[in-house]
Structure formats: structure tokens, C-alpha cells
Amino acid sequence: MRITALGFTLAAILVATAAGADTLSVAEVGSFHVGGRPVSLSGLPTRDVVFTAGSAPIKVDPNGDFEVEQMYVQYVKLAKPKARYPLLLWHGGGLTGVTWETKPDGKPGWQLFFLRAGHDVYVSDAVERGRASWARYPEVFQGEPLFRTKKQAWEDFRIGAPGSYKLSATERTALPGQLFPVDAFDQFMKQGVPRWSTTDAQIQAAYHQLVQKVCPCVIVVHSQSGNFGFNAALTAPDKVKALIAIEPSGAPKPEVAAAGTLKGVPHLVVWGDFIAQSPVWTRFVPASKGYADALRAAGGTADWWDLPKMGVAGNTHMLMMDKNSDQIAGMIQKWMAEKGLMH
């Protein structure tokens, strides 16, 4: 029996070695669309479209029936998750779920980090972004799409100070000590997608449906999705087991948190560096500050991480892509464990 036990041990070691220390045991990889509504368009004029250069135009009738305003969700489910609930990663404005995948410099992103930490991970694209698709405007969406420029991303994401952006990568001056992989900045810009400024209600509605479909869960939000996440927790406090807001660009009014609905939903708000040097973020921070304070006053948990004050300097708005992204993810993982969210 002793020899058999030894055999077991040896076999276990060999299996682990063959597969590699970081190998994931994955039960399922998959995706779905959720939310949205059917819409029928009529009365639009037909158009002449040239499908192949040089060939005669073909009449295209844009009228008909469509599905619009759904969102896209992709998941990796582990064979043996160590987390009690799946982890949902919600991206910010003008971006998609790609935010959480491999970083623009080719290094592993938070999707892989949290899979390796034992979470089932759901990465989604909000309504009108990426694989969620987008709908005809102005017939379905109001207004026109907005395309983020490199200058906006460079300066608003606090990689460089306002006014420091240049077209030439070699002429751009980054903030001293900042941690975004600047050599991969143009590569990062390939991840950007157009956005509308008029679709908040549709985005929020699809997120609510996502929560109903896959939660109980823990949600990590970033930037524009901060507000969507806070509202998701308020709407389904029984299903959202924790909310981790990475640099949320907005929040509901403090009065909403004061009701105490969220006493059982621990919140964590995380901020990077250089906030005082950014007019945009100086303006955005107070909303979630007021919300977190109200939540705490109502007896809830709202931890507020000002990373530089905690000795972690140099983080930009895209801290899941910064050079210390694993360190930040590790701190968040520890917070989740302390909140009883791991088995």
C-alpha cells in the first residue's frame, strides 16, 4: 500500500509537470448574446451598392427586421473553480472585453490572471461595442458614433500629461514614473471601438439581463462601466456578491446608497496615479467618492484604494495593462479572499 501511495504521488507530480504549472483545467469555453429587442424598419430608400470594384451597382433595400441592443458575453468555466462565484469583467467606454485579455504588449491580462486564481471568468462587450454589434443610426441609435483619438487616449488615460501627445511615438513624453507599456500604445489603440453617447439606458438594460442570467457573481467594472455596475448591484443586491470598481467615471447619487440596500454587497474602488494632474479625472472622482462615503455611512463596505497613498505609484487609467497589472490583480484577489468570496 505504501508503494501504491508513492505511485499516486509520483503520478500526480508527473501529470502536473507534463501539463505545466500554469495549466488550467477548463470545463467549457463558450459565449452568448443577451438582452436587446427586435426592431422593424420601413420607408427607407433603396441604395445602389457596388459590391466588387468595377462591377455594376446592385440595389440594396435597407428595410426589414433586425435584432438590436443585445450584448455579447464570453466565458471560460473551470473544472474546479476555487472562487465561490463567477467573476464578470465589464469594460470601459470606447473599448470592448479585449481590455481584460492579453495586454497590448503581449503579456497576460486579468482574464488569465483571475482564471489562474481559480475564478470562472465572463468577459463581455457592452451594447454597440465589439461583438455586441451596433445598429443603424439615426433610425435605431440616436446621434452619431464617436471615435476616440490617440491624443484623447494618451492624455485622458493619464499616460502623458495634457498637451504631451505627438503623432510620432518617439516624440511623445509620458508622465514620469507612469507604468503603461508606451511602446505598445499604438497597438493598444487598435483595441478601440466607436461609441455612442446616447445608449446608456440600452447598455444598462442588457447588463441587468446579464446579471439575471449568470449571477450570483462578483463584478469588476472599469471607467464607463462603473456606473452600470453600481446600478446593477442596486438592482440585484442578492445576486451581486461584490463590486470592484476600477477608476469608475461616474456613480449614482449618494442618496441612493444611503438606503442600505447594499449592506451585504462589499464595494472596492481603486484609483491609479496622476489624478491631480488630469482635469478629466479630477472632475470624475467626486461622484464615486460621494457614493462610497454614503454607502459606508449606511453600514456598508466601500473600501477606497488610492494606490499612490498605499505605496503603489505610476498607475494610469488602464491599470489592468500597466506593467504592475499582476500586482494590482493580486491585491484585488487578496481583497476577495478576505471578503469570503473564495472557497
Q: Is 11 in the site for its own copies (CB under 8 A)?
A: yes
Q: Is 102 in the site for its own copies (CB under 8 A)?
A: yes
Per DSSP, the three-state class of 58 is strand
Scanning the structure block, which residue is given the C-alpha cell 465589439?
Answer: 130
Which parts of 167-226 interact with its own copies (CB under 8 A)? 167, 186-187, 189-194, 197-198, 200
Closest separation in Å from C-beta 208 to its own copies: 17
Q: Is 152 in the site for its own copies (CB under 8 A)?
A: yes
Find the helix or strand (DSSP H, E) in which 51 lies: none
Distance between CA atoms of residues 125 and 88, nearest Å: 11
Q: Is 59 in the site for its own copies (CB under 8 A)?
A: no
Which parts of 29-48 interact with its own copies (CB under 8 A)? 29-33, 36, 38, 40, 47
Q: Is 3 in the site for its own copies (CB under 8 A)?
A: yes
Closest separation in Å from C-beta 26 to its own copies: 4
In the list 90, 134, 157, 274, the residue contacting its own copies (rule: CB under 8 A) is 134
Q: Is 151 in the site for its own copies (CB under 8 A)?
A: yes
Distance between CA atoms of residues 230 and 260, nearest Å: 13
Q: Is 54 in the site for its own copies (CB under 8 A)?
A: no
Closest separation in Å from C-beta 16 to its own copies: 9
Closest separation in Å from C-beta 332 to its own copies: 19
Query: In the 8-state DSSP scheme, what is residue 52?
Result: S
Partner residues linked to 219 by β-bridges = 88, 243
Rank residues 6 and 259 by Cβ distance to its own copies and give the closer one: 6
Ramachandran region, residue 340 (left: φ > 0; alpha: ψ -120 to 50; beta: rest): left
Which parts of 80-99 interact with its own copies (CB under 8 A)? 80, 96-98
Q: Is 231 in the site for its own copies (CB under 8 A)?
A: no
Degrees to nearest 5, angle at CA 207 with 65 and 334: 150
Which parts of 236-265 interact with its own copies (CB under 8 A)? none
Q: Is 64 in the site for its own copies (CB under 8 A)?
A: yes
Per DSSP, the three-state class of 141 is coil
Closest separation in Å from C-beta 309 to its own copies: 31
DSSP code string of 153-209: HHHHTTSS-TT---SSGGG--PPTT--S-GGGHHHHHTT---B-SS-HHHHHHHHHH
Please check whether residue 279 is in contact with residue 316, taking contact to mean a CB–CB distance below 8 angstroms: no
Please check whether residue 332 is in contact with residue 221, taking contact to mean a CB–CB distance below 8 angstroms: no
Please check whether residue 122 is in contact with residue 100, taking contact to mean a CB–CB distance below 8 angstroms: no
Q: How many residues in the shown chain lie near its own copies by CB under 8 A?
A: 85
Closest separation in Å from C-beta 236 to its own copies: 22
In the list 23, 46, 277, 282, the residue contacting its own copies (rule: CB under 8 A) is 23
Q: At what angle do helices 200-214 and 225-235 cross, to 10 degrees?
A: 50
Rank residues 24 and 234 by Cβ distance to its own copies and give the closer one: 24
